[in-house]
Amino acid sequence: KQEVTQIPAALSVPEGENLVLNCSFTDSAIYNLQWFRQDPGKGLTSLLLIQSSQREQTSGRLNASLDKSSGRSTLYIAASQPGDSATYLCAVNGDYKLSFGAGTTVTVRA
């Protein structure tokens, strides 16, 4: 069974600081990995999708890396803003089923 762990569980930073969110998974036989953002009381918004053959993906201030062999992914958010405050979820896709981490709750202080 795939186990997904996200560290840290919570993070509070001043505006402008860079964020580093970590995700690890136990089974490296994955199709892809997807990072989501969840705002309180809302659904999930997809941020980045990395296929198993890729090393990284970038979208604006967001960059996600994937090291499949070691079972790790890192989400970097540059120059954080208060609007980045949310819970970030890492989801690993192994054979059509997503396995989720518990998330990292980020607070960016103005």
Tell whether residue 93 is a contact of other proteins (CB under 8 A): yes
Which lies closer to other proteins via its Cβ, residue 80 or residue 106? 106
Cis peptide before 40 (omega within 30 of 0): no
- How many residues at the interface with other proteins, by CB under 8 A? 24
Query: Which of the stretches 7-15, 18-26, 41-49, 61-69 binds other proteins when contact is defined by CB under 8 A?
Result: 41-49
> Does 37 engage in binding with other proteins (CB under 8 A)?
no
Interface with other proteins, residue 32, by CB under 8 A: yes
Residues that bind other proteins (CB under 8 A): 31-32, 34, 36, 41-46, 49, 51, 89, 91, 93, 95-103
